[in-house]
C-alpha cells in the first residue's frame, strides 16, 4: 500500500484550512515582532551602546610634585548624561609607591560607596578611612580584613604628558576589567 499509491494520487500534505491558519500565524507573528522589536531595542540601548572613549583628563598636578604621601587631587571633565551635559569633579588620592610608580586611588569606599580619605582618623594613622562604617584600607588601597569593605579601592589609570599627570575619567576595579 500506499507510499506509491499516495504519491501517485498527489495527496495534499496540507489542507486549505491549515495553510490559512499557518499564514495568519506567520503574518500575525511578523506584525507582533515588528511592533515589539523596536521598543525592546530602544529599551536596551544603554546596554549595547559603545562606551564613550576613555580619554585622559589633565589634572593640575605636576609629576615632580607627587610624593610618597597620598595627596588629594580633584579634576574636572565634561560629562554627557544623555541630553544633559555637566561638569563633573572626580577625586583621586595620588602618590608614588616605593618603586616610583604613580598610584591613583578612587575615594569611593568598596563597602557602600561613602568617601574615604587618607590619614583622617586618629585611630587609623596612615590608612584610608571611611567614616560611614569604619572601613579601613592600607596605603596601596588593600582593604584591611575585619573591616566592612569587600575589596581594594579602585584605581585610576594615568598618563604623563609634559610632566603633568593625566587621569582616566573613571576608576576601575583592581584585578577586574
Partner 1 sequence: MLNKVYDWIDERLDITPLWRDLADHEVPEHVNPAHHFSAFVYCFGGLTFFVVVIQVLSGMFLTMYYVPDIVNAWESVYYLQNEVAFGQIVRGMHHWGASIVIVMMFLHTLRVFFQGAYKKPRELNWIVGVLIFMVMLALGLTGYLLPWDMKALFATKVTLDIAQSTPLIGDMLKTLIAGDQHIIGAETLTRFFAIHVFFLPAALLLLIGLHFIMIRKQGISGPL
What residues line the site for partner 1 (CB under 8 A)? 43-44, 46-47, 51, 79, 81-84, 112-113, 170
For residue 147, the minimal CB distance to partner 1 (Å) is: 18
* Smallest distance, partner 1 to C-beta of residue 82, A: 5
CB of 79 to partner 1, least distance (A): 7
Please answer whether residues 121 and 133 qualify as being in contact, where contact means their C-beta atoms are separated by less than 8 angstroms.
Answer: no
Nearer to partner 1, 4 or 81 (CB): 81
Nearer to partner 1, 3 or 84 (CB): 84
Q: Which of 177, 159, 161 is nearest to 169 (CA)?
A: 159
**Nearest to partner 1 of 70, 154 (CB atom):** 154
CA–CA separation, 74 and 60 (whole Å): 8
Identify which of 146, 152, 129, 158 has the alpha carbon closest to the alpha carbon of residue 57.
158
Q: How far is the CB of 125 from partner 1 (least distance, A)?
A: 29
Tally Cβ neighbours within 10 Å of residue 43. Answer: 9
Of the CA atoms within 13 Å of residue 56, those in its CB half-sphere come to 12
Cβ closest to partner 1, residue 23 vs residue 79: 79
Whole-Å CA distances, 48 to 35, 37, 45: 20, 15, 5
Closest approach of partner 1 to the CB of residue 112, in Å: 6
Closer CB to partner 1, residue 61 or residue 92? 92
Amino acid at each position: 500500500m500506499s507510499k506509491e499509491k499516495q504519491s501517485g494520487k498527489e495527496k495534499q500534505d496540507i489542507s486549505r484550512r491549515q495553510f490559512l491558519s499557518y499564514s495568519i500565524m506567520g503574518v500575525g507573528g511578523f506584525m507582533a515582532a515588528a511592533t515589539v522589536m523596536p521598543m525592546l531595542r530602544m529599551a536596551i540601548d544603554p546596554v549595547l551602546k559603545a562606551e564613550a572613549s576613555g580619554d585622559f583628563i589633565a589634572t593640575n598636578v605636576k609629576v615632580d610634585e607627587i610624593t610618597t604621601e597620598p595627596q588629594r587631587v580633584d579634576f574636572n571633565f565634561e560629562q554627557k548624561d544623555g541630553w544633559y551635559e555637566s561638569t563633573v569633579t572626580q577625586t583621586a588620592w595620588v602618590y608614588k609607591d616605593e618603586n616610583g610608580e604613580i598610584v591613583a586611588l578612587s575615594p569611593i569606599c568598596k563597602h557602600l560607596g561613602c568617601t574615604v580619605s587618607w590619614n583622617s582618623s586618629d585611630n587609623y594613622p596612615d590608612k584610608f578611612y571611611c567614616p560611614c562604617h569604619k572601613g579601613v584600607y592600607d596605603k596601596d588601597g588593600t582593604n584591611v580584613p575585619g573591616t566592612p569593605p569587600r575589596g581594594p579601592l579602585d584605581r585610576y589609570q594615568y598618563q604623563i604628558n609634559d610632566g603633568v599627570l593625566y587621569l582616566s575619567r573613571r576608576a576601575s576595579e583592581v584585578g577586574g576589567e
